[in-house]
């Protein structure tokens, strides 16, 4: 038998303790609906019944949380439950709890490992919405959120599956569709799951440039995000913007100078002339993207991003990385001077 608990405005409420009135009638009706939907529902694997918490600030804002013992039972409960009438529709969450959730695993493509690895389910939550017209449901939404952890490297993958079904005269009819999204976005991820083979990915993992200004770090991060999302025009614009910001930050030219002159003056920071011409090529791609909405090829964008990463490394990271090593040279220099002075003193005294 299911257990239904109510929590209104932060306080637990028992319908039997409430005097006759609107609040009690609504709570009793919800309780009856839940028992009607889920009263006979038990997990076929574990034999457990779901426990339910109806929580909200008021009766019109109740969130119905169904706690199930495992993913299969949670999916089944999500498809069974519906709480609503002509006046109110309540949202239903179905969540996993306990150690059972961590027993579920699937072979998914890991962005960090760059291959298909076993992923352990960490958390799952389902949102279910039902639109009602004249007492009959006509549109059903089902949203499942899953958080997976790679069993090899520990990185996380968020899966969002959205499903909608059209209803007619209170019954579902042909028109069911489902969309799955994954964060970080992984191209051909569905193929990787269904075939369980290693799929090469063209996605890029952002590198850390901790000594660069925050504005440049954010711009670089958005360039990577645009590339991984296949937003070529935005990616190209971002590349141009980050290059110009590097030149402005290092003050290699006057603020009102032409962009090409700013890029050429990066030679003062140790960038070679041959590389400068490639950077000017990136500048031209960005110009075409801004003024003509021209889209660059993915392989050219990848090369441009790799080149930008090298520039960021030269300009911002190389010197801080080398700084700790300088002390070894300075220490050796000091020791040589001390030995030379000591030798001179010995020769002078002898």
What is the arithmetic mean of pLDDT over 225-238?
A: 87
Which residues, in sequence order, are bridge partners of residue 123?
147
Residue 112 contacts residue 205 (beta carbons within 8 Å) = yes
**Distance (Å) of CA 143 to CA 72, 175, 194:** 15, 17, 21
Residue 82 contacts residue 130 (beta carbons within 8 Å) = yes
CB atoms closer than 10 angstroms to residue 9: 10
Please determine, for residue 165, whether its predicted confidence score (pLDDT) is greater than 60: no
Looking at residue 185, its pLDDT comes to 65
More confident residue, 293 or 260: 293
pTM: 0.42
| Domains of the chain, earliest start first | 3-195 (no CATH), 214-332 (1.20.120)
Looking at residue 57, its pLDDT comes to 72
- Return the structure tokens found at 145: 């959120």
What's the burial of 126, exposed, middle or buried (CB within 10 Å: 0-12/13-18/19+)? buried
How far is the C-alpha of 168 from the C-alpha of 24, rounded, in Å?
32
Residue 301 contacts residue 236 (beta carbons within 8 Å) = yes
CB atoms closer than 10 angstroms to residue 77: 24
Task: For residue 197, name the pLDDT band (cuts at 50, 70, 90).
Answer: very low
Looking at residue 192, its pLDDT comes to 34
Looking at residue 136, its pLDDT comes to 52
How far is the C-alpha of 195 from the C-alpha of 4, rounded, in Å?
42
Going by C-alpha positions, the residue among 179, 177, 180 that lies closest to residue 164 is 177
Going by C-alpha positions, the residue among 134, 25, 133, 40 that lies closest to residue 81 is 40
**Distance (Å) of CA 151 to CA 15, 116, 156, 182:** 46, 11, 10, 18
What's the burial of 36, exposed, middle or buried (CB within 10 Å: 0-12/13-18/19+)? exposed
What is the arithmetic mean of pLDDT over 218-235?
A: 86
Residue 117 contacts residue 150 (beta carbons within 8 Å) = yes
Looking at residue 238, its pLDDT comes to 92
Looking at residue 100, its pLDDT comes to 43
Per residue, what are the HEC states of the chain? Answer: CCEEEEEECCEEECHHHCCCCHHHHHHHHHHHHHHHHHCCCCCCCCCCCCEEEEEECCHHHEEEEEEECCHHHHHHHHHHCCCECCCCECEEEEEECCHHHHHCEEEEEECCCCEEEEEEEEEEEEEEEEEEECCEEEEEEEEEEEEEEECCCCCEEEEEEEEEEEEECCEECCCCEEEEEEECCCCCHHHHHHHCCCCCCCCCCCCCCCCCCHHHHHHHHHHHHHHHCCCHHHHHHHHHHHHHHHHHHCCCCCCCCCHHHHHHHHHHHCCCHHHHHHHHHHHHHHHHHHHHCCCCCHHHHHHHHHHHHHHHHHHHHHHHHHHHHHHHHHHHHHHHHHHHHHHHHHHHHC
Task: For residue 73, name the pLDDT band (cuts at 50, 70, 90).
Answer: low
How far is the C-alpha of 275 from the C-alpha of 266, rounded, in Å?
10
* Per-residue pLDDT tens digits for 319-334: 888 777 877 788 888 8
* Per-residue pLDDT tens digits for 9-25: 778 888 777 766 667 77
* Per-residue pLDDT tens digits for 26-68: 777 777 767 766 666 677 666 667 677 777 777 666 666 666 6
Give 331's contacts (C-beta < 8 A, 6+ positions apart).
none
What is the arithmetic mean of pLDDT over 89-114?
A: 58
């Amino acid at each position: 038998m299911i257990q239904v608990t109510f929590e209104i405005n932060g306080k637990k409420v028992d319908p039997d303790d409430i005097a006759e009135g609107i609040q009690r009638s609504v709570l009793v009706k919800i309780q009856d609906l839940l028992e009607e939907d889920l009263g006979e529902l038990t997990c076929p694997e574990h034999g457990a019944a779901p426990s339910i918490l109806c929580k909200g600030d008021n009766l019109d804002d109740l969130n119905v949380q169904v706690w199930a013992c495992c993913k299969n039972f949670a999916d089944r409960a999500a498809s069974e439950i519906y709480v609503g009438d002509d006046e109110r529709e309540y949202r239903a969450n179905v969540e996993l709890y306990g150690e059972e959730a961590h027993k579920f695993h699937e072979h998914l493509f890991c962005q960090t490992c760059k291959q298909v690895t076993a992923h352990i389910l960490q958390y799952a939550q389902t949102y279910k919405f039902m639109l009602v017209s004249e007492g009959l449901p006509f549109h059903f939404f089902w949203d499942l959120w899953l958080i997976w952890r790679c069993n090899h490297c520990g990185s996380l993958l968020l899966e969002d599956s959205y499903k909608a079904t059209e209803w007619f005269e209170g019954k579902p009819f042909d028109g069911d569709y489902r969309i799955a999204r994954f964060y970080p976005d992984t191209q051909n991820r569905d193929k990787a799951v269904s075939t369980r083979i290693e799929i090469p990915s063209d996605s890029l993992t952002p590198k850390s440039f901790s000594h660069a200004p925050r504005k440049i770090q954010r711009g670089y991060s958005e360039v990577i995000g645009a590339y991984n999302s296949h937003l070529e025009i935005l990616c190209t614009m971002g590349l141009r913007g980050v290059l110009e910001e590097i030149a402005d930050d290092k003050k290699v030219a006057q603020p009102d100078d032409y962009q090409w002159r700013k890029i050429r003056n990066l030679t003062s920071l140790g960038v070679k002339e041959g590389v400068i011409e490639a950077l000017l090529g990136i500048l031209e791609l960005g110009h075409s993207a801004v003024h003509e909405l021209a889209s660059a090829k993915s392989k050219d964008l990848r090369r441009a991003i790799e080149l930008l990463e090298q520039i960021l490394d030269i300009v911002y990271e190389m010197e801080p990385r080398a700084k700790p090593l300088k002390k070894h040279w300075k220490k050796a220099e000091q020791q040589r001077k001390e030995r030379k002075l000591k030798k001179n003193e010995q020769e002078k005294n002898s």
